[in-house]
Chain A
Amino acid sequence: MSLIHFFLAHRLEIADSTGEHLWLVLISMLLAIAAGVPLGIAVTRKPWLSKPILGSANVAETIPSLALFGFLLPVPWLGARAGRLAIATLALYALLPIIRNTVAGIKSVDASVREAAQAMGMTGSQILLRVELPLALPVLLAGIRIAAVWTIGIATIAAAVGAGGLGEFIFRGLAMVDNRLILAGAIPAALLAILADIVLGLLERRLARGRS
């Protein structure tokens, strides 16, 4: 009971932090999509780019998130503000699944479909925009879903550099050994992740339907 009372008493604070959290995730996801999809397309067009691009995205993924926040801290413009730093870090993490699934989605397009498109006199950009990307969309969306769920989780660590979000409660709770505070951060974060998973999953299934 006391947990519910605690949540009710701090509902405004929790709502604020949830908003902050969502904001961090949203901006970093948009950045990651804006960078990741073109990079993925580039890999399918120029196979020699595959190693450097996927390789560096892979390396970014292996760095523990807290350390990555630290690495980016001395970067001039980025390190100056906690929000920027957090968003850059989160975007880097979200990049790999988005690039990988863009590549996988485009490569999954049937060779005969691509050949027919080319033989009918469609230009490269027409083939990309009208055939390859629409057909890659369900797979691409699966990548975005994975990235979103990760980012929502990792964004709790952004509080360590003072960027706010639901991690604030968790770090305060750890410092004060107060489970209620930890849960006030952890439960909304978990719910956000589940929600993102469900909504994006539904979207993905809707797009996949009506195709063989």
Chain B
Amino acid sequence: MAEAAAPVIQFRDVEYCRGESIILRNLTFSMQPGETLVLLGRSGSGKTTALKLVNRLLEPYSGEVLVEGRATTGWNPILLRRRIGYVIQEVGLFPHFTVEKNVGLIPGLEKWPAQRKAERVDEMLRTVGLDPAQFAHRYPHELSGGQRQRAGVARALAGDPPILLMDEPFGALDPLTRAEVQDEFLAIQRKLAKTIIFVTHDVREALLFGTRIALLENGSLAGIYAPQEFLRAADPPAAAYVATLQKSPIPIPQQRGIS
């Protein structure tokens, strides 16, 4: 069924340069509706750049990025971005807006009736695990990091966009909060069935969320794998990531007696 559907996002031989340096080259892949593609790679591998090409924060130097069958450069950027939710590590909540106003921003821009907008904000806050009675009227600086990131996800989902772009959304959270928010997001991902591009440098996160994992190395695609394939992959870049999983992350301290 998914095979027959038209791709939601398609990269066709995309190249992106900044000044003299090539950030992305020969990037080609396509995504089916409801799929979560994880872009995995080191810092500087071009993951974030690829993400920004989708909502036309950047435009390809050559090749094209198609969203719902149309090249991003042929879209009105405002209309394109209203169909694409965007969640970043720094969250980017508006500091002068309450949580309620932040989450209601896109419904407001889309001129939804007040009643429907208020209901939507409530629903979204509950979806991400924030009690509206407690949080709706708080300002971002009155929230913890995890709560802020949840509000950021709620804001991105509020306009019900079919596509979601996430740039290391949970990277700045402490390990316990991260695990919590990841679990919640996993539930949201299953429930809402959005088409998601998820950028991370964390293999565990890639395996957790990805229906496929695209490995980027120095701006080129090293391969696209289903999670199970990725774990068994023999090619060096993927194998290197898998090897980090097997390494015990903590050196176990030796018992030292005083003699």
List A residues at the B interface (Cβ < 8 Å). Answer: 110, 112-113, 115-123, 126, 131, 134-135, 210-212
Contacts and interface: CB of A to CB of B under 8 A. Distances in A.
B92 A110 contact: yes
Contact of B88 (A112, A121, A123, A131): A112
B139 A119 contact: no
Contacts of B79: 121
* Top 3 A-B residue pairs of the complex, sorted by shortest distance between their CB atoms: A116-B92, A212-B141, A121-B81
Interface string B41-79: 000000000000001010000000000000000000111
A122 to B, nearest CB: 7
A188 B111 CA distance: 52
Contacts of B109: 120-122, 126
B96 interface: yes
Contacts of A120: 81-82, 86, 105-106, 109, 155
Interface residue tally on B, bucketed by range: 20 to 34
A210 B140 CA distance: 9
Given A119-B86, A210-B139, 14 more contacts: A116-B86, A116-B94, A117-B94, A118-B57, A119-B165, A120-B109, A121-B77, A121-B82, A122-B78, A123-B78, A211-B139, A211-B141, A212-B95, A212-B140
A113 B155 CA distance: 13
A121 B109 CA distance: 9
Contacts of B238: none
A110 B140 CA distance: 13
B81 A119 contact: yes
25 contacts: A110-B90, A110-B92, A112-B90, A112-B92, A113-B94, A113-B95, A115-B57, A116-B91, A116-B92, A116-B94, A117-B94, A118-B81, A119-B84, A119-B86, A120-B81, A120-B155, A121-B80, A122-B78, A126-B109, A135-B95, A135-B96, A210-B96, A211-B141, A212-B95, A212-B141
A113 B148 CA distance: 13
B131 to A, nearest CB: 21
A121 to B, nearest CB: 3
A119 B57 contact: yes
A212 B86 CA distance: 22
Contacts of A126: 109
A125 to B, nearest CB: 11
A121 B141 CA distance: 24
A74 to B, nearest CB: 47
A119 B140 contact: no
B88 A134 contact: no
B88 A115 contact: yes
Interface in B167-209: none
